[in-house]
Amino acid sequence: MTPDEAKARLATTWVASRAFVSRHRIAVGVSAGVLAVLVLLFVWLADRLPISQALEPLPNRAIILLDNQGKPFARRGAYKEAPVVIGALPQHVPAAFLSTEDRRFYSHIGVDFRGIARAMRANSRAGRTVEGGSTITQQLAKNAFLEPERSWRRKAQEAVIAVYLELRLSKDEILARYLSSIYFGDGVYGLGAAARHYFGKAPEALSIGEAAMLAGMVKAPVNLNPVDHPKAAGARARLVLEAMVATKAITRQQADTSGKVVVRTTRADLPVGGYFADWISPQVKSAFDGPGYGEVRVTTTLDSRLQRIAERAVANRMKGAAKVKAGQVALVAMRPDGQVVAMVGGQNYRQSPFNRAVQAQRQPGSAFKLFVYLAALRDGASPDDLIDAGRITIGGWTPANYEGGEGYDLTLRDAFAQSSNTAAARVWQTAGGPAVVQAAHDLGIDSPLKADDATLSLGTAETNLLELTSAYAAVAAGKGPSFPHGRPFKSPPPQAKLDPGQREALLDLLAAVVQEGTGRAARLSQRAYGKTGTTQDHRDALFVGFTGDLVVGVWIGNDDQTPMNRVVGGGLPALIWRDVMTGGLKAGLIAKDRAPRPRFEPGPEREAEEEFDPERRVPRWLRRILGL
């Protein structure tokens, strides 16, 4: 073609183009406008869309909680592993997902119009939605960049983002992002985490059957969870295997030999909650906060052996609790240094995760008298001092006795052991309200206390069981305040030693409760120390005490504060306490101590007397008559 001919043809084409534009100026204008909008939209997406978001770790890593023996007992938080690399996976792994989710993945542009048409026909014939038309790219756009919403507007956004992703990324990069971010149920995100969670292996090691089961879960991650719904998951996996045969990803023989899959539930069987786990999780989260792949394994102070003993004791004793109108129970067990080793926050965690050991603020009743009597001991009193236990009125308030303690002259020991309310009120009046509040604070009580409220002597100020038990732990340790904790301290907080004489006197009082007072149901084969507590109208019943190197607090009551049928601290709570301590001693989990001391011990002179001494064999009244 000569230059003149080329110029002539170009001129002809130009004239024809102008004529076409002139005749279809509206259509051309609209097309140009749409193209301009798309260009601007893609430029905006390039600037605003975080294209690698699907590959990023979750805001907080999953946490595996370990007991003090290093054994896992709970898991918390969502779990995501590092992104997968398509080239590193066996061919059957991505093929399992492509066979069921997007067979034309490598040939469409992000939106599969043939797939949409096929889905519309299938749904129309079925009269309901039985098939979706979204491509893997659209699913990635939806999961990674859009809010969960069902609307045509959202569908349009999904399609636009899908096309944009196809222009920016390779097919393998899109597939890797998809597989690394989809949800597999049970708090698990991404293929890497799912392979480890359900099969205990890396995604590169997945078998054909395992890959088919994971691919089948994408449709309904909760209902097709192989741990909770093994039959449904297995049936879905077989459908995936058939799809893989249909797409020639595997042979019929491979499909027939890959149907049986064993789920390894080492991680999946771990509960995601529990009273202790719920309590410790905020402390753990603050220490290991921040994004990251994988999971963090955190050692706690929980002793799973004592936890089982505590749960068994609670379950056995609460079987007949409905007869006495007792609906709930809480228990805390800790070492004297504040390490919490067992916790029961209610009868059934699944029915009620509310932790009554930590979250319930209840009146401690007479269990608060520990601080009242400590204030008296600091004021110079001793267990053998006499106290008037008769009727008393303070500011118009006249206490009555609910757990015994009748009489007018009792030693402090007997008044404490018999839980005399009138004696406690008089001790409070003598020692002073501020001294009582200070004694409580020194042992670890942080709940608000009113120093000018005389009813405080009977435990009317609300506290929680964890706090109260930790205060008793301070007495066991001989230093306070006590700091209950679920993770080992790197450096223990400062504490002040209790006065040795005052602590010895407190131990004397607490031992008297168990040996001859209101806590006799808690007697053990070794020395035990504790205090009962019963609130007005039997709304709360408690027993808190220690033996060896274990401190345990037990509470029984109703969430709505309705009265129980004469349940007292020396009843069910003391029995549960004794069962825990007995089980712990038998298992060797509690330090051994000496046998309880008898209240009245013979003096050394009398022990040295001859066996035939008439003063030992003849009653005192008869000796006076005979002049002996």
Please give, one letter per residue, the 3-state secondary structure of 442-488: HHCCCCCCCCCCHHHHHCCCCECHHHHHHHHHHHHHCEECCCCECCC
- The pair phi, psi for residue 383, each rounded to 5°, is -60, -25
Question: Could you tell me which residue, 440 or 272, shows the higher pLDDT?
Answer: 440
Q: What is the pLDDT of residue 38?
A: 55
Q: Where are the domains of the chain?
A: 78-256, 327-568
Mean predicted lDDT score pLDDT of the chain: 84
- Check pLDDT > 80 for residue 426: yes
pLDDT band at 622 (very low <50, low <70, confident <90, very high): very low
What amino acid positions are annotated as catalytic residues? 101, 366
AA letter at 441: H
> Taking residues 194-205, what's their average pLDDT?
93
Classify 539 as helix, strand or coil. coil
Residue 307 Cα to chain centre, angstroms: 14
Region of 87 (left: φ > 0; alpha: ψ -120 to 50; beta: rest) is: alpha
The model carries a pTM of 0.79
Report the share of the chain in percent with pLDDT over 90: 61
pLDDT digits (tens, 9 = 90+) for 10-61: 556 555 555 654 665 665 455 655 555 555 555 554 445 555 565 666 667 7
Indicate the pairing of strand 79-80 with strand 188-189. parallel
Q: Nearest CA to 357 among 550, 563, 532, 542? A: 542
Q: Is the dihedral of CA 30, 31, 32, 38 positive or negative?
A: positive
Least confident of 131-135, 208-212, 314-318, 529-533: 131-135
- Check pLDDT > 60 for residue 604: no
Report the share of the chain in percent with pLDDT over 70: 79
Tokens 């997007």 correspond to 102
- H-state helical runs in 247-290: 252-256, 275-287
Longest CA–CA separation in the chain, Å: 161
Classify 62 as helix, strand or coil. strand
Q: Which run of H or of E encompasses 30?
A: helix 25-48
Look up residue 248 and give its two tokens: 């020639």
**78-256: which CATH topology?**
Penicillin binding protein transpeptidase fold (1.10.3810)
Tokens 């006076």 correspond to 624
Instruction: Please tell me the distance from the alpha carbon of residue 58 to that of residue 62, in angstroms, as a whole number.
Output: 9
Instruction: Please tell me the distance from the alpha carbon of residue 402 to that of residue 394, in angstroms, as a whole number.
Output: 18
Other C-beta atoms closer than 10 Å to the C-beta of 90 total 15
pLDDT band at 624 (very low <50, low <70, confident <90, very high): very low
Other C-beta atoms closer than 10 Å to the C-beta of 287 total 11
Axis crossing angle, helix 191-199 with helix 208-217, rounded to the nearest 10: 120
pLDDT digits (tens, 9 = 90+) for 100-121: 998 888 988 888 777 666 656 6
CATH (residue range 327-568): 3.40.710.10
> Taking residues 318-327, what's their average pLDDT?
92
- Check pLDDT > 90 for residue 435: yes
Report the half-sphere exposure of 609 (CA within 13 A, side-chain side).
Answer: 12
Q: What is the pLDDT of residue 602?
A: 40
Instruction: Please tell me the distance from the alpha carbon of residue 152 to that of residue 568, in angstroms, as a whole number.
Output: 64
pLDDT band at 195 (very low <50, low <70, confident <90, very high): very high
> Taking residues 330-335, what's their average pLDDT?
98
pLDDT digits (tens, 9 = 90+) for 361-410: 999 999 999 999 999 999 999 999 999 988 899 988 999 886 544 557 89
Which among 44-48, 80-84, 144-148 has the top mean pLDDT?
A: 80-84
Q: Which residues does residue 202 pair with via DSSP β-bridges, in sequence order?
A: none
Tokens 């401690």 correspond to 364
Look up residue 94 and give its two tokens: 């991505």
Classify 325 as helix, strand or coil. coil
Instruction: Please tell me the distance from the alpha carbon of residue 390 to that of residue 392, in angstroms, as a whole number.
Output: 6
Question: Could you tell me which residue, 194 or 609, shows the higher pLDDT?
Answer: 194
What is the SS3 assignment for 81-108? Answer: CCCCCHHHCCCHHHHHHHHHHCCCCCCC
Give CA angle at 443 (442, 444), nearest 5°: 95
Q: Which run of H or of E encompasses 295?
A: strand 295-299
What is the SS3 assignment for 349-398? Answer: CCCCCCCCCCCCCECCHHHHHHHHHHHHHHCCCCCCCEEECCCCCECCEC
- Check pLDDT > 70 for residue 132: no
Q: What is the pLDDT of residue 385?
A: 94
Q: What is the pLDDT of residue 57?
A: 63
pLDDT band at 601 (very low <50, low <70, confident <90, very high): very low
Q: Is the dihedral of CA 193, 194, 196, 201 positive or negative?
A: negative
Classify 526 as helix, strand or coil. coil
Q: What is the pLDDT of residue 355?
A: 97
pLDDT band at 605 (very low <50, low <70, confident <90, very high): very low
pLDDT band at 265 (very low <50, low <70, confident <90, very high): confident
